[in-house]
Amino acid sequence: MVRIAYTLIAWITLALATAGPATAQVTPQAQVKMMGRGVNILGYDPIWRDPAQARFRLEHLARIKKAGFDTVRVNLHAFEHMDAKNRIEPAWLALLDRVVFAALAQKLTIILDEHNFSTCGEKADACKPRLMAFWRQISRHYKDADDGVVFEILNEPNGQLSAAVWNRWLVEALAIIRQTNPTRNVVIGPVFWNNIDYLNALDLPKADRHIIATVHYYLPMEFTHQGAPWFSGGSRTGVTWGTPAERSSMKKDFALVQRWAKAHDRPILLGEFGAYDKSDMASRVAYTAAAAREAEALGWAWTYWQFDGDFIVFDMKTDNWVKPIHDALVPGN
């Protein structure tokens, strides 16, 4: 198995060296259709510190594809892998290359999501040069990659990133990306952790028509984050979900996003949603299925939070899918 993995890695690295430019300009609307159903991966996996300790293996990408998913959103904590001059570690970038091209080989769209949202929310002045340096290097490195590679400037801007600050930053980051990727689709969401209520404060450059807007949805937090140690209200458990009123509330929330999307002519990616593992399974299934089907009915793409870790759809201990959650996401597969 190890020899096979290293052979695959060598093939992928060769593919990167010989890859030509994307052959066609893909509209963000078409990209969202291709994205379809997805899952977040690799955010907190030891693979980035020590590949030998990785939970996630490249062959999981084939299993993700076979299980009915079309997209992976790779959560990158890149700042931990940049030196004092904000240069990305070559070994880290080489590993990312392997993930990118293994995903593309499976016909998966791959979203490169810069995920250092805590650092940026807490220390914006320290974050900004790193964020811009990251995109200067990544956009140049992947300028000739397939259109299936999508960039996401920053996960869940929050804290010190007010709407005014974030609107300035996203323009600056886009300008860097557009120097080498003039038509690559870029994912951008509003402040307050990609909150649907802050979409109206998001000021996207009107002339740039290769942007996909994103929101995250975990309402009501008292249900989706019950038992989560990082959530202030997480100590309360036993909260269920699925009444007609709760389903209606979700529909109204999604309709709010859809009105914004139509008014601004921007397609939508539901970048994160789900319910923490401490919730009862029947309610988690009901919530997950309702969000996925409503997003699909509105023509959005979605990427479930997350593959493994918590909110899981894949159990690394059993090396298999958490069937109720998988079936809620991809029924009939």
Taking only the tens place, the pLDDT of each residue in 140-183 is 999 999 999 999 999 999 999 999 999 999 999 999 999 999 99
Encode pLDDT of 28-54 as tens digits.
999 999 999 999 999 999 999 999 999
Residue ranges per structural domain of the chain: 40-329
Could you give the C-alpha distances from 238 to 97, 222, 226, 277, 328, in angstroms and in order? 43, 10, 8, 12, 21
Q: Which of 18-27, 239-248, 284-293, 304-313 has the lowest mean pLDDT?
A: 18-27
The pTM score is: 0.93
Residue 213, beta-bridge partner list: 188, 268
Residue 240: which of 216, 275, 196 has the closest Cα?
275
- For the chain, the residue count is 333
Q: What is the mean pLDDT of residues 214-237?
A: 89
Classify domain 40-329 at the CATH topology level: TIM Barrel (3.20.20)
Q: What is the mean pLDDT of residues 51-79?
A: 97
Check if the beta carbon of residue 124 is closer than 8 Å to that of residue 163: no
End-to-end CA distance of the chain: 27
Angle between the N-to-C axes of helices 59-66 and 90-105, in degrees from 0 to 180, rounded to the nearest 10: 30
